[in-house]
Structure 1
Amino acid sequence: MSILTKGLPKTIDVSGRKVAIETDFRVWIKYEEIMLKEDEKAQIQVLEVINTCLAEDFKISSLDELESLFDGFLWFYSLGKKIDGSQEKKKEEEDSEFAGLSLVYSFEHDWAYIYAAFTECYNINLFTANLHWWEFKALFEGLNQKCLFSRIMSFRSMNITSKMSKDEKKYYRTMKKIYALPDERTVEEKENSFARSMMASMQI
């Protein structure tokens, strides 16, 4: 059944039980930030994620239940996408294509551009808006290509090739430098950092 007809989720499945979670987009931006902290101990990350994302008290009685809880968090964060064996294999193949690519956005460092983009494209004030995470992400991924933030992401992801003219190469290198993010990790490295945090959370 389509999300458009059944509505946006407010719970996750944890070992067969429906558990209420926070759905506001700000919570899940925070979730991403927590999971990408490489200098924080796994136990601290786990507690911080639980305290941030759960909307009700939930007593964890086993490691299996903890794993199910974090699977649920990841399911919600990824807009309900499930990764099975074949998808993991496909992702490994895709990772080789994206290895070395620069990050194209950061909620922390691009907040002003993102705020301006939502105002320009949707007339939405993100400081006062009440948006479900899935709603926010759908709008984020559908931003008008003419807005500045979309162009900035395009500059960051631009692959400078030998087929470009000298002036084109100079222009795109300049744009990349102007709009470069402080986080120097590549897409693959950032995804691996997120994955390491997920694995660590399952092993405490």
Structure 2
Amino acid sequence: MNVFYEDLPETLKINGKEYPIITDFREWIRFSDMLKSDLQPQYKLEFLAEMFLEDTPDLYTEEGIEEVMDSITSFLSLEALEFPDQYSGELEEVEEFDEKPEEVEYKDATEKKAIYYEQDAPYIISAFRREYQVNLLSVPYMHWWEFRILLDGLSEESQIKKRIYWRTCDVSKMEKKERMEILKIRRSITIPEEEYVSDEDIGNAFM
């Protein structure tokens, strides 16, 4: 897909049928929050159904929900653009402490969770306001994909991009002092694993 001459998607294709969906970025952030909440599965299904504007696909069989969640995951990650989805990778433990607190053993995960929308909201809002003159608190509408593209395009000097760097950078080749500083920052801005949504969580939320 080429966004220069193709419209951003307004539907999900499920079992060969197009289903119109809500596309505003706020609703997809809210959707992610819903997935990690302690709502009962039936209420999550009701929330999911409300993301569809007209017909609702099969949400009540294992095969049906699997097809829906595959499409949801693809839409969330901008898969059609082959987008580098650094913002939804599954977080893995990145450091462990041995018996000596000053000595740190570490291992870099293949993917690390780069962004937490609730925690990072002030930094995202301020960066959009400063760099794009867009007020995310009052903008009437912004497509989820546009939001993600603009988020990725923020300058490396923005606080949100620095936070993403601190969470995801490879510390294995750094000098010890720099590595310790990065790991200290990383621990202070990283949410425990159970508090964010992975692709597996998306699939399991309705089971």
TM-score, normalised relative to structure 2: 0.72
1:185 and 2:193 equivalent?
A: yes
C-alpha change, 1:5 and 1:31, in structure 2 (3 Å) is same
Partner of 1:73: 72
Partner of 2:49: 50
Deviations 1:99-133 (A, max 9, x none): 38753321011110110111122111111222100
Partner of 2:97: none
CA distance in 1 between partners of 2:26 and 2:54 (Å): 18
Give 1:163 deviation, angstroms: 4.5
C-alpha change, 1:115 and 1:157, in structure 2 (3 Å) is same
Gaps of 5+ in 2: 83-88, 90-106
Which structure shows the bigger proportion of residues in helix conformation? 1
Q: Give the structure, 1 or 2, with the largest relative contact order (CA under 8 Å, sep 6 or more).
A: 1
TM-score, normalised relative to structure 1: 0.72
Alignment of 1:26-45 (within 5 A): 26-37=26-37, 39-45=38-44
Identity of aligned residues (%): 24
Give 1:154 deviation, angstroms: 1.5
Give 1:175 deviation, angstroms: 3.0
Alignment of 1:1-204 (within 5 A): 1-37=1-37, 39-51=38-50, 53-58=51-56, 60=58, 63=61, 64-81=63-80, 99=109, 103-129=113-139, 130-161=141-172, 163-166=174-177, 168-177=178-187, 179-181=188-190, 183-185=191-193, 190-191=197-198, 194-199=199-204, 201=206, 204=207
Aligned length: 185
Gaps of 5+ in 1: 84-90, 92-96
CA distance in 2 between partners of 1:146 and 1:4 (Å): 27
